[in-house]
Amino acid sequence: MHVVRPELGLKEKLYLPSIVAGMGITLKHLGRSLRLMIAPEKKKTLSPLDMSATGMVTMQYPEEKWTYPDGYRGAPVLVKDEDGREKCVSCQLCEFVCPPRAIRITPGSIPASSPHAKVEKAPEEFQIDMLRCIYCGLCEEVCPEEAIFLRKENPIFVGQGRTEMVHNKERLYELGGIYPRPIKKWALK
């Protein structure tokens, strides 16, 4: 197929007009950034979308934090009940349903001597790879024990390597803490 190349006019042949136009855009963004530097309190209340709309894209983390939109559901964590008992029974439903396969569970048994021996199972290890997680919330939806929730209170997850971005059971309970809920399916009667 023959592609017809348009003839370049004098303006296109001279590169200076394009450079001036580019500098104009740069100055426009510089003006916006300077305005936000003069009024930094305005920048702290901006959502990520507002930030890009104003041209202000660099955030001084961790001194500055994102404000999340209302629709943000949070990140998955494990929670314990009011008695400090882990609610997860390592049924692995969340591992099965997780679309990017971010969850890895090693099922374990609760010893017969435990006051919670009636439950029989608890995870020996529970990992969520936060580099894989897409924050969809399916794990929370499917959990029959209300043991895994997406919580908004979590900080932004940062790490110095991939291994630090895989949250183990200890970290997941540390982030989730105690989450009182009316349903206590496994409580002794």
Work out the burial of residue 86: count CB atoms within 10 Å of its CB; fewer than 13 is exposed, 13-18 middle, 19 or more buried.
buried
Minimum CB separation from ligand SF4 for residue 137, in Å?
Answer: 5
Minimum CB separation from ligand SF4 for residue 117, in Å?
Answer: 17
d(CA 107, CA 110): 10
DSSP string, 17-42: HHHHHHHHHHHHHHHHHHHHHHSHHH
**Buried/exposed code over 148-182 (b: 16+ C-beta within 10 A; e: otherwise):** bbbbeeeeeeeeeeeeebbbebebbbebbeebeee
d(CA 7, CA 116): 82
User: Which residue, 59 or 166, has its beta carbon nearer to ligand SF4?
Assistant: 166
- By the 8 A CB rule, do 121 and 147 touch? no
User: Which residue, 56 or 81, has its beta carbon nearer to ligand SF4?
Assistant: 81
Strands 103-109 and 121-129: antiparallel
Minimum CB separation from ligand SF4 for residue 6, in Å?
Answer: 48
Minimum CB separation from ligand SF4 for residue 85, in Å?
Answer: 13
User: Which residue, 56 or 139, has its beta carbon nearer to ligand SF4?
Assistant: 139
User: Which residue, 51 or 91, has its beta carbon nearer to ligand SF4?
Assistant: 91
User: Which residue, 56 or 130, has its beta carbon nearer to ligand SF4?
Assistant: 130
Minimum CB separation from ligand SF4 for residue 68, in Å?
Answer: 15
Q: Give residues in contact with ligand SF4 (CB under 6 A).
A: 76, 88-94, 98-100, 102-103, 105, 128, 133-139, 142-143, 145, 147-148
